Structure 1
Amino acid sequence: MNQNLTYAIVHEWLTPKATGGSELVVKEILKYIDADLYALIDFESTNPESYLFGRSIGKTFLQNFPGARNGVQKYLPFLPLAIEQLDLRNYDIILSSSHTVAKGVITTPQQLHICYCHATMRFAWDLTFDYLANSFMGQGIQGMMTRYLLHRLRQWDVLAANRVDYFIANSQHTASRIWRYYRRKAEVIYPPVDIDRFSYQTNKEDYYLIVSRLVSYKKVSLIIQAFNQLGLPLIVIGTGPELTKMRQLAQPNVQVLGFQPDEVVEKYMAGAKAFLYAAYEDFGIAPVEAQACGTPVIAFGAGGTSETVRDIRQHPDDGTGILFAEQSVPAIIEAVKTFLAYEGKFNPEVARSQAAKFSSDIFKQRYLGYVDRCYSRKQRSTGAQKN
């Protein structure tokens, strides 16, 4: 990296309640780029347990809105306006980490803006009708207002995408969405997964595992219902608004443990017969972590998992799991039965090797290399314009 350049990293929100894959990417980038950090809201610099504790972080007027600590998604109409208020004129390179509005920061023609896109605004694009059907905001008069808001948000989103010089996508799946909605090409650089955190274990125990936030779109309830019928031992680790619902749904063969510390998660991940994953994600870190333990994965075969998990039926020599075609109880039951038929053919070493393709070292090499190449192109372009 050019040490004479100034960098700013822009993310959507920094709160103890948001610690997913996009936040891990920001944490990784900050390890090797000396950059100032900006976000719509920041409650991590005052959190003693955060790696950002005590750090100076730029933020917007949303910081003082009621309930901001619990998230600003409820202030959706204000997000585009808020992100545009960040004054980043003093930086040479802007690195946005975006799944909603971070890519919409305003820059000058002299600056380079590279966006790492974790996801397009799916609620405003391909999941619009699901969002409207499953929310009270999609009904009646307020439903008409919501539809108009989403219409205007789509217009702004395309405008914001055109402020980006170069896009990075976290998967081929996300890259295809970037092309579909913005007509922009994106370099695919998979997110960093700390595979060294997880112990590689060849001897598996007699239980299946879920590690997930317990929210509706993760479809954990489908897996629990499937195992209620199968009668096989299932352990569910994670917390969220559906925790009570999941515990009420579970039969005696299903243990819902709620939140567990990292060392417990790692222990269960290493010992599991198989890891279950039914979410439709743009990447999905958990299935890669499971493979780092040598644990095969049974997952919904769309989105990021179609790139990170190799179905043993198509890849008999280096398969790492079973992919099912739809998010339904019968499909999950059938996938588990298929897994049992192939169980003896899975090689833990192959799973570990597959996970290694998504290591932090590979991310660092590819991300820094891409930023350098983009800056060189910018310099050549600027020189050509001057001539």
Structure 2
Amino acid sequence: MKVALVYDRLNKLGGAEQVLLAFHKLFPQADWYTSVWDPARTPFTRNWRVHSSWLSHVPLLRTHHEWFPFLMPFIFEAYDFSSYDLVISIGSAECKGIITDPSTFHLHYCLTPTRYLYSHASEYLTNPLYRFVGRYLRAWDQVAATRPDLMLAISTQVKKRIKKYYNREAAILFPPVDTQKFTSINSSLTSSILHLPSSYFLVVSRLVPYKRIDTLVRVFNQLPKDNLVIVGIGSELRKLRTLAHSNIHFAGLVDDQTLVRYYQHCQAYLQANEEDFGLSMVEAGLAGRPVIAYGVGGACDIVVPGVTGLLIPGNDVQSFISAVDKFRSLSFDSGACRKNALSFAREIWQAKLKQVLKPYVQATTI
């Protein structure tokens, strides 16, 4: 069976990395198709069989694809998939708009309907030119959404968006999580050896505005006896450092081993923004740690209230201060946190994906 995997763009690291690695592990001989590929910025793809468009050879387009969204429909419609038995598109933008033969089964694994066209259009399409281009892209996207033979959603929230914006039904297949690194790394390093406070709350995130890390900084500015450790970098780093008091610590980027230990030693993991899924919340659970999260989106699929953490109704400063105060009076079983998180293991994802494909694809290799 000949398989192709399609992703919107492979030009920077992002939250979908584990999803792509899981698909590559399941289909190691598959060809990958994308609009833009930059192997220097996505080193895990260096040995993949990647087909990219001419955009990859133009430095400005390779690094600033978002300036030219109107090109993407033409890029993906130009690819020829006539020789493939199975094509799986993975993404949130244009990759679902590929054109396949009737004999080729096309599965779309939807990370979310395109944010800047639908759920967050008012934030992105802020001037007349953007709105003009947005109308064209939205019309094309409506056609593109009819092309996959089957859609899967990564969360309950994404399933609802698919129904709302595309009027299509989609089963839910939660993203795969690599549980192996949490079993192969021990917790022998103490927080003092890691140069961390003896007790702290944790957030792991890109430091960009929509992640609302500034809210958590303001929370802990008002909780001087509690510590917050922030793992990650991004455009907001300088602003956040200026805003933060001395009980807030910035760890920057860390390797996997260090990150696991950060999870293992924290009091709880904090999630302030709405996520389509929320990989870091699962990783905290794998380390046996509870989560305090804004109770919308993927958090509702991951956190079992009162068992593996707290879901709170707001994501303002006072809501999180109240949640931290409530957390102090509760206890959470680390075993229950781990058990819940293990339900998102990559092996379970792989088995469920095979079951989804079985009625449509005749092959012994899946």
Normalised by the length of structure 1, the TM-score is: 0.86
The counterpart of 1:12, out of the listed 2, 8, 12, is 8
Residue number in structure 1 paired with 2:96: 103
Q: How does 1:29-44 map to 2 (within 5 A)?
A: 29-33=23-27, 34-44=29-39
> Partners of 1:283 and 1:71 in 2: how far apart?
26
Deviation per CA, 1:256-308: give whole Å up to 9, x if none.
12212222211111100011111211101000000100011111111001110
Q: Any gaps of 5 or more consecutive residues in structure 2?
A: 192-197
Residue number in structure 2 paired with 1:324: 312
Residue number in structure 2 paired with 1:183: 167
The amino acid across from 1:261 in the alignment is D
Deviation per CA, 1:320-368: give whole Å up to 9, x if none.
11112222111111111111121xx210000000101100110010012
> Partners of 1:244 and 1:261 in 2: how far apart?
22
Secondary structure of residue in 2 paired with 1:77: helix
Answer yes or no: is the 8 Å Cα contact 2:273–2:294 preserved in 1. yes
Give structure 1 regions of 4+ aligned residues with deviation exceeding 3 angstroms: 199-205
Matched, 1:371 2:357: yes
> Partners of 2:80 and 2:17 in 1: how far apart?
22
> Partners of 2:280 and 2:103 in 1: how far apart?
39
Residue number in structure 2 paired with 1:212: 205
The counterpart of 1:349, out of the listed 335, 343, 352, is 335
Residue number in structure 2 paired with 1:385: none
Q: CA offset at residue 201 of structure 1?
A: 6.5
Secondary structure of residue in 2 paired with 1:256: strand
Matched, 1:303 2:301: no
The counterpart of 1:114, out of the listed 103, 107, 115, is 107
Higher fraction of helix: 1
Answer yes or no: is the 8 Å Cα contact 2:18–2:178 preserved in 1. no
> Partners of 2:315 and 2:176 in 1: how far apart?
27
Secondary structure of residue in 1 paired with 2:305: coil
Q: How does 1:15-94 map to 2 (within 5 A)?
A: 15=11, 17-20=12-15, 22-33=16-27, 34-44=29-39, 50-94=43-87
Q: CA offset at residue 240 of structure 1?
A: 0.9
Matched, 1:221 2:209: no
Matched, 1:153 2:137: yes
Q: CA offset at residue 51 of structure 1?
A: 3.1
Q: CA offset at residue 200 of structure 1?
A: 7.7
> Partners of 2:81 and 2:160 in 1: how far apart?
29
Residue number in structure 2 paired with 1:135: none
> Partners of 1:297 and 1:150 in 2: how far apart?
37
Answer yes or no: is the 8 Å Cα contact 1:311–1:323 preserved in 2. yes
Secondary structure of residue in 2 paired with 1:375: coil
> Partners of 2:359 and 2:172 in 1: how far apart?
14
Q: CA offset at residue 71 of structure 1?
A: 4.4
Answer yes or no: is the 8 Å Cα contact 2:202–2:269 preserved in 1. yes
Answer yes or no: is the 8 Å Cα contact 1:200–1:292 preserved in 2. no
> Partners of 1:19 and 1:71 in 2: how far apart?
15
Residue number in structure 2 paired with 1:379: none
Deviation per CA, 1:115-173: give whole Å up to 9, x if none.
000111122112111334xxxxx2xxxx1121122122211111001001000111111
Q: Any gaps of 5 or more consecutive residues in structure 1?
A: 133-137, 313-318, 377-387
Answer yes or no: is the 8 Å Cα contact 2:187–2:261 preserved in 1. no
Normalised by the length of structure 2, the TM-score is: 0.91
> Partners of 1:229 and 1:68 in 2: how far apart?
44
Q: Give the share of equivalent positions with the same residue, in percent.
A: 32
The counterpart of 2:286, out of the listed 288, 292, 298, is 292
> Partners of 2:311 and 2:260 in 1: how far apart?
23
> Partners of 1:120 and 1:92 in 2: how far apart?
25
Residue number in structure 1 paired with 2:195: none
> Partners of 1:55 and 1:164 in 2: how far apart?
24
The amino acid across from 1:8 in the alignment is A
> Partners of 2:220 and 2:55 in 1: how far apart?
43
Residue number in structure 1 paired with 2:249: 255
Answer yes or no: is the 8 Å Cα contact 1:322–1:338 preserved in 2. no
The amino acid across from 1:278 in the alignment is A
Deviation per CA, 1:185-210: give whole Å up to 9, x if none.
11111111112312587999511111
Deviation per CA, 1:199-243: give whole Å up to 9, x if none.
587999511111111111111110011111111111111011111
Tell me the matched-pair count. Answer: 351
Secondary structure of residue in 2 paired with 1:230: coil
The amino acid across from 1:365 in the alignment is A
